A and B are shown apart, each in its own frame.
Chain A
Amino acid sequence: NAGVTQTPKFQVLKTGQSMTLQCAQDMNHEYMSWYRQDPGMGLRLIHYSVGAGITDQGEVPNGYNVSRSTTEDFPLRLLSAAPSQTSVYFCASSYTASGGARDEQFFGPGTRLTVL
């Protein structure tokens, strides 16, 4: 199993540009999520999905869109990049998020994004 994969590893954007961060998992997990990690702020949830066709907002959703057309893929779209979106982005997946042992999250390697 490849686990959770993310592309690209690094990206530099100019203010106003759009892009999509890709995330895929091959563990047949129902739950997938996107986080951003900033110094001193920890991991903050952007969007999550409890299954194909179902997405919802997390703690910091503004400026980001997601979709979940398949169980495997959960792309994150930046609509119009801003310097405040400079961060490290992690995708994660788990079997569930229902309060039990199957909530163990598997993380991808991260995407380091810089917006100039």
Chain B
Amino acid sequence: SQKIEQNSEALNIQEGKTATLTCNYTNYSPAYLQWYRQDPGRGPVFLLLIRENEKEKRKERLKVTFDTTLKQSLFHITASQPADSATYLCASNTGNQFYFGTGTSLTVIP
């Protein structure tokens, strides 16, 4: 069955560095991947969508790439700030059903 996987290990980085989070998918070819941010005790909030025919998408300090050969999307936060600390989820859909990764917890250390 189709699967979206994220590195479940928490990621700690120093303020000002670039954070890179990984999302891998198996057993299907998503038309797009979405990235969400989730803060503790709150629902996820949509950040970016990248289609399979787009290599890269940017929004302010965020950058997402989509590599259909590696079956992988990378999510980058440049010039990271403590306010970027959260859990980041990737997601896609197939046949009206959305599938989410387990999320990667990011902590930016001042």
Contact = CB atoms under 8 A, between A and B. Distances in A.
Interface of A: 4, 31, 33, 35, 40-45, 48, 50, 56, 58-59, 90, 92, 97-101, 103-110
Interface size class of B (residues with CB under 8 A): 20 to 34
Nearest to B6: A42
B110 to A, nearest CB: 27
Contacts of A101: 49
A45 B42 contact: no
Contacts of B89: 42-43
A59 B32 contact: no
Contacts, number: 64
Interface stretch (B13-21, B60-68, B100-108): B100-108
Interface string B10-47: 00000000000000000000011010100001111110
Nearest to B102: A42
12 contacts: A40-B102, A43-B44, A43-B89, A44-B100, A45-B99, A48-B98, A50-B96, A97-B97, A98-B96, A101-B49, A103-B32, A110-B43
B97 A43 contact: no
A113 to B, nearest CB: 14
Contacts of B34: 103-105
A104 B91 CA distance: 10
B8 A40 contact: yes
B47 to A, nearest CB: 10
Given A42-B89, A105-B98, A110-B43, A99 B32 contact: yes
B101 A42 contact: yes
B93 interface: yes
A98 to B, nearest CB: 8
B27 to A, nearest CB: 14
Residue among A41, A43, A59 having the largest count of chain B Cβ atoms under 10 Å: A43
